[in-house]
Amino acid sequence: MTETVATSAGSDWLRIIIGLVVVLIFAPLNALLLVWLERKVAGHIQLRLGPMEVGPHGLLQTIVDGIKLLGKELITPSRADRILFPLAPVLVFMPVLLAFLVLPFGPQLVIREMNVGLLLIFAFSTFTVLAILTGGWASNNKYALLGAIRSVAQNVAYEIPLLLAAMAVVFMVRSFNLSEIVMAQHRVWFIFLQPVAGLIFFICATAETNRAPFDIPEAESELVAGFHTEYSGMRFGLFFLAEYTNMFIVCAVAATLFFGGWHGPFGFGLRIPGVVWFLLKTYVLLFVLMWFRWTFPRVRFDQLMNFSWKVMIPLSLVNLVVTAAVLKLL
Amino acid sequence: MGYWKEIVEGGWSLVEGMRVTVRRLVKPVVTVQYPRKRLEMSPAYRGHIEFVRFPDTGTHRCIACGTCQRTCPTGVIKVQGIKEHARGGKVATHYVIDFTRCSLCGLCVESCPTQTLKFSREYELEGDSRWDGVIDLMERLEDGR
């Protein structure tokens, strides 16, 4: 339905307003579903059931948790920064919403076509780091600050191979436009042409979203909860919401860049709407992220840095050079 | 060379780890939804001790000999009995254990000359004071638990 509404809405403004409303509804729902799914996947990997009490198979558990979070008092530590402390949760959430602007959910289902769509996503994703640093610094708490500093170092380290891996795809399509990147994959997905870039992209995306095994900024067993130690109630909820929406975005970008976006596998499934394929691929990738989390132990900070600077960056550079050379020769 | 070897071997170990967890994901879960579903207790399970009710007499055969009380390494058993007839043996009238200090070694069960002691299948004990751990076996037998 949204597809028809969006395409029939000729004016750009109307399209953006409808898109934003849909995104504002979709983002929390997606987060609710993912939190529930995360707990179920964790439960089943550990041979237990996960939440089962509230609603069928614990489906209402996250909603109840959300209501509980809403009811909690918003505590501000006595010597915290009065302006930056409440600002950080808002800062962390805004860029995540903006990334939805250029994601191609279907052939016509893009809120705003942009020639620099991919750049926009990467540009705004760095805002999250700023928000985490703001939150950690403004909390006036050593653990929060340590978590925030770790987050910045980690994001700087992993942003480079992430961009280099995405560049390999951009080299092949010669465009930053996400819809064009998807259209270039109507025969073969880029994961088959660029497997190394795909792998590097996904590993770096895991690190960028601060997910295990790269959940160094949170590291609840070492840093209490890291950058959001001092946040309570819905302020903490916003960090949580942003994390899960961010996960959706990186998986959606991975699906767009490497898994053919809205295309069905190998040209099959043409009768199924593109948005279904797109969401299916995104959620499969999200499941893989969860699978990572419940498989691998957290890496140490020096291992994390070594892995990025000594393995990911050289590998992605080599991959980029080889891609450029092959494209030049062909 | 070590650099590439480490990448390949490290990568393979990650794949191996993921294989383990995905297998667990599709295996049936083992957790029981406890208050609604209960497992049959294993015959080897040791709860606190209790009296055996013998079908011929409908009661225990404790003769208050005090063997269990003497063998108990932590001294948690208190048994008292009376002689009802001048020629008859003693019969237990009081049998109390302090389960909070019991180590479930089973020496009492082993040493009982009339085999009147056994381990119960009790696993749902709770209490808000340490006196809730003091269990009267006579009372238990009378209540028919």
Question: What are A285-316's pLDDT values in tens digits?
Answer: 999 999 998 898 888 888 888 889 988 999 99
- For residue B78, pLDDT beyond 90: yes
- For residue B79, pLDDT beyond 90: yes
**What digits encode the pLDDT tens for the residues A217-229?**
776 667 676 777 8
A 88-127 residues inside an 8 A Cβ radius of B: none
Domain membership of residue A67 (yes or no) is no
Which of B3, B21, B27 minimises the CB distance to A295?
B21
User: Stretch B121-128: mean pLDDT, rounded?
Assistant: 88
Which of A52, A294, A310 minimises the CB distance to B21?
A294
Domain membership of residue A1 (yes or no) is no
Domain membership of residue A308 (yes or no) is yes
- For residue A9, pLDDT beyond 70: no
Is the separation of the CB atoms in B25 and A290 below 8 Å?
no
| pLDDT of the residue at A1 | 44
**What digits encode the pLDDT tens for the residues A155-164?**
888 999 999 9
Give the rounded percent of residues in chain A with a pLDDT score beyond 90.
19
- Pick the residue from chain A with its C-alpha nearest to B14: A296
Domain membership of residue A52 (yes or no) is no
Domain membership of residue A162 (yes or no) is yes
Q: Is A56 on the interface with B (CB under 8 A)?
A: no
Domain membership of residue A147 (yes or no) is yes
How far apart are alpha carbons B18 and B11 in whole angstroms? 11
Domain membership of residue A305 (yes or no) is yes
Enclosing domain of residue A230: 79-329
Q: How far is B70 from chain A (nearest CA, A)?
A: 45
How far apart are alpha carbons A275 and A28 in whole angstroms? 19
Write down the ipTM of this complex: 0.74
Structurally, chain A folds into a number of domains equal to 1
| pLDDT of the residue at A6 | 47
B41 among the known binding-site residues? no
| pLDDT of the residue at A112 | 78
Q: How far is B123 from chain A (nearest CA, A)?
A: 21
How far apart are alpha carbons B59 and B85 in whole angstroms? 18
**What digits encode the pLDDT tens for the residues B50-61?**
999 999 988 898
- Pick the residue from chain A with its C-alpha nearest to B4: A311
- For residue B145, pLDDT beyond 70: no
DSSP B45: -
B 7-66 residues inside an 8 A Cβ radius of A: 7, 14, 17-18, 20-22, 24-25, 27, 29-31, 33
Domain membership of residue A28 (yes or no) is no
Closest listed residue to residue A89, CA positions, set A128, A62, A52: A128
Residues in chain A: 330
The model's pTM is 0.80
Which of A47, A294, A311 minimises the CB distance to B29?
A47
Report which secondary-structure segment, H or E, holds B117: strand B117-119
Which of A45, A49, A311 minimises the CB distance to B7?
A311
